[in-house]
Amino acid sequence: MKVLIPYVKRYRKDAYIAIISVIALVFATLWQPRLLQVVMNAILKGDKATIFQQGILLIGLAIIGIIAGVINTIYSAHVALGVATDLRADLYSKVQSFAYADVEKFSASNLVVRMTNDINQVQQIVMAGFQQISRIPLLFIGAFILAMVTMPQQWWVLIGMMIIVLGVSFYSYKKMSDYFGQTQQNIEDVNTVARENLMGIRVVKSFVQEPNEIDKFSKVSDKLTKVTAKIGYNFAILMPAFFLTANIAVAIAIYIVGQNVTTHPAYLAAITSFISYLMQILFAVINGGFLMIAASRANISLGRIGEVMATTPSMNYVQGDDTPVSGNIEFDHVSFTYPGDEKPTLKDISFTVKAGEMIGIVGATGSGKTTLAQLIARLYDPDSGVIKVGGVDIKQLPEKSLRETVAYVLQRSTMFSGTISANLRQVKEDATATQMQWAANIAQASEFIERLPQTYDAPVEERSSNFSGGQKQRLSITRGVIANPKILILDDATSALDAKSEKLVQEALDKDLRHTTTVVIAEKISSIIRADKILVMDDGRVVGNGNHHQLVADNAVYQEIYKTQKAREGVK
Amino acid sequence: MSDLKNAGKYYWHYLKKYWFGFLMTSILIGISTACIVIAPTYLGKAVSELTTYLQQWTDAATRGNASLGSFHKTLWIYLGLYIGDATTLLIASWILARITAFSTGTMRVGMFRKMQRMQVKYFDSHSDGDILARYTSDLDNIFNAMNQALIEIFL
Ligand SMILES: Nc1ncnc2c1ncn2[C@@H]1O[C@H](COP(=O)(O)OP(=O)(O)OP(=O)(O)O)[C@@H](O)[C@H]1O
Ligand SMILES: [Mg+2]
């Protein structure tokens, strides 16, 4: 909870207003029964002047109460919203600073839950806090004192009731927060099974694992159900127990007043206000309990947020000016293991590419082509060895320089939702219409974009679902070339294009991006046959490095791939 | 509108087997409400009986007749009503808690079963996060809403 203090401090003014208004509200609430008592006495005596005078006061008090309540709600909401927004912004910028591996550690969906669900919990507790936190103790103490003043003789009834009510609450709130902790755990378990199942849904289906999976899920789900039911049972006991205790206290109080009515007749008129105060004490305790439960839930959420905040990005970029570098690439004995894996995915890789060259990478699926490309873009750092771009170790390059130098078209990339031009401007802020057209021409995308009613301002839906596979790839390539990068990596980026369009893209790249180093990862040898240099990958190693003619002549792995592909084409 | 109807059918499917529980809760809540409504009148009665007693006692002529007997009886009834209210309310909320917890549980497993029967196509067209959210936040929301709704309807 302490983490919240600096955030609340930014909204100090609103916070003070919320607290002051709540004090006014408590004052109005507490004073009402007293005034009512005076009015009742006056009515009994038939004292019209007092009735009128006190009646006005009573109405005034009610109005003050209402206004204070409204003001309190508004300003509490201000503070809560402000704190939540700032916290979310900080969390977001923290996540932005994360390396790719850090995001994978939490998983993207988990981070989203923390940014939405958990922050909402915090927002609710801040709101409730400013509405209740000063109100509960004030109301509690105030009602207690006033009840004492009203019937001093019955202090022990009050104390007795309070001991029982507080005892019951502490006991069940304690148990309840245990249960809430368990719930959180159970929800995570349910999530894990569901997620595993989702990821491997094809495997599950093709191996007819459904009954097993349902059994497994039922087990974790039942646990969650049982804890939820237990929480419900506890809540079920609370309310009746509170009200019964309070009403027993009322009955005892009246009984005592009855026994002593001949010696203390004045207490008769005080019964109603005494009961009011008893109920106010009770409500203070009930609200306090709810606040405690909400606080313990929010505390769990704060912990989850704190965990993200406390993570230091596993990759640091040097600060510095945007230094332009050339398009050379150099790998020097690079090995890499994915975080959490035991065996390296890339083993002792060395090669060089001169600026402006085209380099092809081929190899079986899982041989490490994508991984190698990710290292050039510094999505991960290698375990050992050095990667240089433009002759500079990429660990010594400021992030901005690296991003401007290397454009990476992902194997399965999608656009952000928005418009086409917004996506392009994310890469190149000041892209003009002509530049967009130029890029789209290279990617063979201009034809279909210009047929859209809004052309470059056409909407892009989530996961680019309003575009076909081939259109998505063309758009991704457009985005890749828009900033005219020194190095362009195309990871299987033309797989959904027909042979003719693919050829047109390559010709355009050759012509318009002549000085750009292009790294083309492809399944089909025909896509990279013209490359200046081809790397053949096999199980994380580079087993061949040369142009097509050299490799066909002397590389076994390459020959194998080439033979099978040619045979397949022959069949067609 | 047809969405609403479908939703109604969906809940009915999961809730219909609890009809006896709902019937019991309705009766219990009826009793409890009656107790709460009647109890304050006995409070008023007790106070006025006390006032009468005080008047009789103050007057020397009637002091001999003054008795707290009916006052005590009224207080006992008052207490009895609140005990009745508390027990019926306790049982009713206990049943409701059970129903909400278990029907959400059945819904969760039902959804998982359904997921197993879906075609792979469905998983291609929905993002994983989207589907997962249904297990956690959507069900959580349903649970809270149902809790709220049942409490509002019955209590
Ligand atoms: N994020 C990751 N965490 C752990 N292991 C990974 C990760 N991504 C890939 N791998 C593993 O690293 C190996 C190489 O994967 P990579 O994606 O580089 O292959 P690829 O050559 O691009 O294959 P494809 O032709 O199918 O795209 C594979 O065995 C894969 O299981
Ligand atoms: Mg790949």
pLDDT of residue A572: 46
pLDDT of residue A82: 92
Residues of chain A with pLDDT > 70, as a percent, come to 96
The closest-lying atom of ligand 1 relative to the alpha carbon of residue A368 is 18
Among B72, B109, B147, beta carbon nearest to A218:
B109
pLDDT above 60: residue B1:
no
Does residue B11 sit at the A interface (CB-CB below 8 Å)? no
Q: What number of other Cβ atoms are within 10 A of residue A133's Cβ?
A: 19
Measured CA to CA, the distance from residue A224 to residue A218 in angstroms comes to: 10
The interface predicted TM-score (ipTM) is: 0.80
Q: How far is CA A186 from the centre of its chain?
A: 20
pLDDT above 90: residue B80:
yes
CA distance B20 to chain A (A): 18
Backbone angles phi, psi at A330, to 5 degrees: -140, 125
> Which residue, by CA, sits nearest to atom 19 of ligand 1?
A366
pLDDT tens for residues A458-468? 888 766 777 77
pLDDT of residue A359: 92
pLDDT tens for residues A355-364? 888 999 988 8
Provide the pLDDT confidence category of residue B88 given band limits of 50, 70 and 90.
very high
pLDDT above 70: residue B136:
no
pLDDT above 80: residue A210:
no
Question: In the structure, which protein residues have their CB atom closer than 6 angstroms to any atom of ligand 1?
Answer: A 338, 341, 345, 363, 365-371, 411
Residues of chain A with pLDDT > 90, as a percent, come to 7
Residues 6 or more apart whose CB falls under 8 angstroms from that of B96 comprise A232, A236, B21, B25, B147, B150, B151, B154
Binary contact (A214, B113; C-beta < 8 A): yes
Is A191 within 8 Å of B134 (Cβ atoms)? no
Measured CA to CA, the distance from residue B140 to residue B138 in angstroms comes to: 5
Q: Which residue has the higher pLDDT, A413 or A226?
A: A226
* Among A314, A342, A369, A408, residue to substitute to test ligand 1 (most atoms within 8 Å of Cβ): A369
pLDDT tens for residues A407-419? 888 877 777 878 8
Does residue A198 sit at the B interface (CB-CB below 8 Å)? yes
Which of B72-107 are b and which e, b meaning 16 or more Cβ less than 10 Å from the residue's Cβ? eebbebbbebbebbbbbbbbbbbbbbbbbbbbbbbb
Q: Structural domain boundaries of chain B?
A: 19-154
Among A187, A214, A268, beta carbon nearest to B112:
A214
pLDDT of residue A83: 92
Among B85, B105, B129, beta carbon nearest to A225:
B105
CA distance B140 to chain A (A): 10
Phi-psi region of A331 (alpha: psi -120 to 50; beta: other; left: phi over 0): beta
Measured CA to CA, the distance from residue A362 to residue A396 in angstroms comes to: 29
CA distance A58 to chain B (A): 23
Does residue B50 sit at the A interface (CB-CB below 8 Å)? yes
User: Angle A499-512/A433-442 helices, nearest 10 degrees?
Assistant: 130
Please tell me the total number of residues recorded for chain B in this structure. Answer: 155
Instruction: Report, as an integer, the average pLDDT of A29-39.
Output: 82
Q: Which residue has the higher pLDDT, B68 or B129?
A: B68
Q: Which residue has the higher pLDDT, A297 or B80?
A: B80
A540-547: which pairs have CB atoms within 8 A and are 24 or more residues apart? A540/A344, A540/A345, A540/A346, A540/A347, A540/A367, A540/A368, A540/A371, A541/A346, A541/A347, A541/A348, A541/A349, A542/A349, A542/A350, A542/A351, A545/A351
Provide the pLDDT confidence category of residue B120 given band limits of 50, 70 and 90.
low
Is B84 within 8 Å of B34 (Cβ atoms)? no
Phi-psi region of A418 (alpha: psi -120 to 50; beta: other; left: phi over 0): left
Does residue B154 sit at the A interface (CB-CB below 8 Å)? no
pLDDT above 50: residue A300:
yes
Q: Which residue has the higher pLDDT, A75 or A210?
A: A75
Backbone angles phi, psi at A386, to 5 degrees: -130, 140
pLDDT above 70: residue B96:
yes
CA distance A413 to chain B (A): 14
Binary contact (A202, B78; C-beta < 8 A): no
Backbone angles phi, psi at B89, to 5 degrees: -65, -40
Query: Most A CBs within 10 Å: which of B18, B32, B42, B47, as the mutation test of the A interface?
Result: B47
Backbone angles phi, psi at A468, to 5 degrees: -75, 170
Q: Report B:83-142 residues touching A (Cβ under 8 A).
A: 83, 85-87, 89-90, 93-94, 96-98, 100-102, 104-105, 108-109, 112-113, 115-117, 120, 123, 125, 127-129, 131-132, 135-137, 140
Q: What's chain A's average pLDDT? A: 84
pLDDT tens for residues A137-146? 888 888 888 8
Which of A494, A484, A556, A553 lies closest to A521 in space, CA to CA? A494
Residues 6 or more apart whose CB falls under 8 angstroms from that of A17 comprise A71, A75
Q: What is the pTM of this model?
A: 0.66
Cα B121 to middle of ligand 1, angstroms: 24
pLDDT of residue B91: 93
Instruction: Report, as an integer, the average pLDDT of A420-444.
Output: 85
- What domains are there in chain A, each with its CATH number? 2-309 (1.20.1560.10), 329-569 (3.40.50.300)
pLDDT above 90: residue A437:
no
User: Angle A420-427/A433-442 helices, nearest 10 degrees?
Assistant: 90
pLDDT tens for residues A94-138? 888 888 778 877 777 677 777 877 888 888 888 888 888 778 888
- The three-point CA angle A512-A516-A522 to 5° equals 95
Binary contact (B102, A187; C-beta < 8 A): no
Residues 6 or more apart whose CB falls under 8 angstroms from that of B22 comprise B15, B99
Measured CA to CA, the distance from residue A115 to residue A109 in angstroms comes to: 10
Which of A556, A562, A533 lies closest to A543 in space, CA to CA? A556
Dihedral of CA atoms B75, B76, B77, B80 in degrees, nearest 10, equals 130
Q: Which residue has the higher pLDDT, A42 or A93?
A: A93
pLDDT of residue A570: 57
Binary contact (A255, B131; C-beta < 8 A): no
The closest-lying atom of ligand 1 relative to the alpha carbon of residue A540 is 14
Cα A370 to middle of ligand 2, angstroms: 4
pLDDT tens for residues B39-79? 889 988 888 888 888 888 888 888 877 788 888 999 999 99
The one-letter amino acid code at A207 reads F
Strand locations in A378-486 (E): 384-389, 392-393, 406-409, 418-419, 459-460
Does residue A416 sit at the B interface (CB-CB below 8 Å)? no
Binary contact (A244, B127; C-beta < 8 A): no
pLDDT above 60: residue B149:
yes
pLDDT of residue A67: 92
pLDDT of residue A94: 86
pLDDT of residue A75: 92
Backbone angles phi, psi at A546, to 5 degrees: 175, -175
Instruction: Report, as an integer, the average pLDDT of A531-536.
Output: 90
Instruction: Report, as an integer, the average pLDDT of A385-403.
Output: 85
Measured CA to CA, the distance from residue B48 to residue B90 in angstroms comes to: 32
Kind of pairing, strands A487-491 and A406-409?
parallel
Residues 6 or more apart whose CB falls under 8 angstroms from that of B17 comprise none
Provide the pLDDT confidence category of residue A294 given band limits of 50, 70 and 90.
confident
* Among A367, A519, A520, A523, residue to substitute to test ligand 1 (most atoms within 8 Å of Cβ): A367
What number of CA atoms fall less than 13 Å from residue A180's CA on the CB side?
18
Measured CA to CA, the distance from residue A109 to residue A204 in angstroms comes to: 22
Is A156 within 8 Å of A211 (Cβ atoms)? no
Backbone angles phi, psi at A408, to 5 degrees: -125, 115
Measured CA to CA, the distance from residue B67 to residue A535 in angstroms comes to: 109
pLDDT above 80: residue B150:
no
Cα A569 to middle of ligand 2, angstroms: 23
